[in-house]
Amino acid sequence: MSKLKHIDTTPPEGMDKEHLKEEFEEILKSLDKLQNLLYAEAKHSILIVIQGMDASGKDGLTRDVFTSMNPQGVNVFSYKEPTAEELSHDFLWRIHHHVPAKGMIQIFNRSHYEDVLVTRVHGLIDDKTARQHMQSINDFERLLTQNGTHILKFYLHVSHKEQQKRLEARVNDREKMWKYSENDFKETKLWNTYMKYYEEVFTHCDEVPWHIVPADKNWYKSYIVAKTLRKTLKELNMKYPGMKK
Backbone angles phi, psi at 206, to 5 degrees: -120, 15
Minimal CA–CA distance to 43: which of 84, 100, 128, 122? 100
Minimal CA–CA distance to 166: which of 156, 154, 155? 156
> pLDDT tens, 185-233?
889 999 999 999 999 999 999 999 999 999 999 999 999 999 999 999 9
> pLDDT tens, 157-189?
999 999 999 999 888 877 777 877 888 888 999
**What is the pTM (predicted TM-score) of this model?**
0.95
pLDDT of residue 242: 81
Q: What domains can be seen in the chain, in order of their start residue?
A: 17-234 (3.40.50.300)
pLDDT of residue 182: 80
